[in-house]
Amino acid sequence: MFGKMINRFYYGKSGKGDFTKEDLPQTRWQLFWEMLRVRFSALVRLNLMYVVVWLPTIFVLLNSALVWYSGLVELSTLEMQVASGEAAAAALEEAYAAFQGMTPTLIMQTLVLLIPCIAITGPFTAGVAYVVRNWARDEHAFIWSDFRDAVKQNWKQGLLTSAITSVMPVVFYVCFQFYGQMTSQSMLYLVPQVLCVIVVCVWMCGLMYMYPQMVTYKLNFRGLVRNSFIMAVGRLPMTVGLKLLSLVPLLLAALVAFFTPYMQYAMMALVLYYLLIGLTLSRFIGASYANAVFDRYINPNIEGATVNQGLYVETDDDDETPPQDE
């Protein structure tokens, strides 16, 4: 019985007829849900492999969150002691000042530690981008061999992309804090502050198209960045919406942690989500949309490039009447 279950898992159920052209999805929405259903277990396996690269990042973030949370617990405990008369109000004010001074330092330290952690992920993200791109457009891809080959072919551009991404949070935080303090002297400093926010946001949105382009087209890094920025700005509402969608699990965990006494369970659920499927599911959603954007703006301009791969496209042959038997 167990052997039959394994065979069915890998090779499918016997006795089913072959798919015909008419069985193909007719819209991008149908294609996405069909491929997600078919590839869900494979996305889990790919995620378990990909998450190894992100373990240093997860460790740094969890450690910083625990340090900040422990400081918050100490403040809450001191507040209760002051309310009961066991501690002086001056001690609470000192603790508040220390906590407020610790927070910027902890944020800066965390962002600096994240630089090497994020920088090493680029080549492996390129490998994942190749596999999920194929799956999103109903193409076959081996989890390990195709992942490995894509890493070998794109590791330079992937490493450069992740290196830039890793310093973006530090640059954003430093510039935002610096120009924010300078606005007290002149509101003109609000202009570079806003520009800093725009640059970082456009870069993060452009990543949705950068890695899929990297594994699909032969482009130098300048062309890769330029095309990604153009598509991110040109499709800004949808791009921002998908980026925000990827933050929904994090937002839900934060709401549960702040407004309920179940912070530990919220953090455990969040970590479990990203360990099992969170990373590759986000990549799969982005690849599905990126494929549609490429088919609209890039592939029609490339001779011989396949457009609407995985979708049912009516051809002239479909209108021909089949011959009748005499």
Per-residue pLDDT of 114-138, as tens digits, reads: 999 999 999 999 999 999 999 999 9
- Between 150 and 103, the higher pLDDT residue: 150
User: DSSP string covering 210-276, please?
Assistant: HHHHHTTS---HHHHHHHHHHHHHHTHHHHHHHHHHHTHHHHHHHHHHHHSS-HHHHHHHHHHHIII
Q: What does the pLDDT look like over 56-107, one tens digit per residue? A: 999 999 899 888 888 888 888 877 877 777 666 777 777 788 878 888 889 9
Find the helix packing angle between 263-273 and 28-83, rounded to 10°.
150
Amino acid at 234: G
User: Which positions ≥6 away from 301 have C-beta within 8 Å?
Assistant: none
Residue 210 pLDDT more than 70? yes
The residue count for the chain: 326
pLDDT of residue 22: 63
- Between 124 and 181, the higher pLDDT residue: 124
Cα 42 from chain centroid (whole Å)? 17
Residue 309 banded pLDDT, cuts 50, 70, 90: confident
Residue 11 pLDDT more than 60? no
User: Which positions ≥6 away from 48 have C-beta within 8 Å?
Assistant: 275, 276
- Residue 147's Cβ-count burial label (10 Å; 0-12, 13-18, 19+) is buried
Residue 20 banded pLDDT, cuts 50, 70, 90: low
CA-CA-CA-CA torsion sign (54, 60, 63, 66): negative
CA-CA-CA-CA torsion sign (203, 147, 281, 292): positive
Round to whole Å and give the CA distance between 133 and 126: 10
pLDDT of residue 252: 92
Q: Is 10 helix (H, G, I), strand (E, B) or coil?
A: helix
Q: Which of 205, 204, 220 is nearest to 154 (CA)?
A: 220
Residue 207 pLDDT more than 60? yes
- Residue 93's Cβ-count burial label (10 Å; 0-12, 13-18, 19+) is exposed
